[in-house]
Amino acid sequence: MKIQEKIILLVGDVALPLIGFFFWDWGFYFIALYFIIDQLAKQAFLIIRMNKIQIQFSDKALILSKSMILFFFEVLIIILINYQMTVDFNPIKGVIKFLTYEDMGVQQGIILIPLLIFAEWMKLKTEQKFKQSDELKQKNINHSLQQSQVRLSILGIILGMVNFIMLSELIIVVLFLVGIGLPIFAPVKKEIKQA
């Protein structure tokens, strides 16, 4: 991935949550929910991407399993961080509040969810347009898994910190957004498994 693409991805993953925090009164949980919905859309489109790669079924199943397990633990750690931050934290009420939150008379769930799905669909169409080789597609998927592992480590560090230190929500949001942005620049492994 070129440096320009990484910067565009970084702006897309971090800019909207920052705007939400400073202008739409989003707290850490709202930002984390935005991230979770984005990752959920990526999981759904990963299944489509895997169907278009010519590798053994067992390799596809292994990659999908790894991706879903990493996503599950990211969500779990985000929930645990919120339990540490807020005594009366309720994840279900938070999701409903996030989806029904209104700005300028429009519920943000009506805008954000289709927007995130559309963004993933456009990425898929762009990949198809440039007719990437199966090797390059698999390299991109492996890089995405590496990013998830780095994010999971950073989330674990944030969870450890909120367990022992009373941090302001702003600091937690900054650490979280750094944790989202940093993995984009993680180096890519050179080796690619052959089918």
Mean pLDDT by 10 residues, the chain (195 residues): 65 77 84 89 86 79 90 93 85 85 74 84 78 74 84 90 87 86 65 43
Structure tokens that stand for 134 in this block? 């199966």
Distance CA 165, CA 167 (A): 6
Distance CA 138, CA 54 (A): 10
Cα-based distances in Å from 34 to 21, 56, 76, 137, 182: 12, 33, 15, 26, 18
Domain boundaries, the chain: 3-185
Convert 75-144 into a string of H (helix), E (strand) and C (coil). Answer: HHHHHHHHHHHCCCCCHHHHHHHHHHCEECCEEHHHHHHHHHHHHHHHHHHHHHHCCCCHHHHHHHHHHH
Structure tokens that stand for 147 in this block? 């990013």
Distance CA 36, CA 70 (A): 12
**Of the candidates 27, 25, 7, which has an alpha carbon nearest to the alpha carbon of residue 176?**
27
Neighbouring residues of 58: CB distance < 8 A, sequence distance ≥ 6: none
What local confidence, expressed as pLDDT, does residue 76 receive?
Answer: 94
Residue that has been written with the tokens 């995130």 in this structure: 116
What local confidence, expressed as pLDDT, does residue 195 receive?
Answer: 40
Distance CA 107, CA 25 (A): 14
Rounded (10°) angle between helices 3-23 and 28-51: 150
Cα first-last separation, the chain: 23
Burial class (CB in 10 A: 0-12, 13-18, 19+), 18: middle
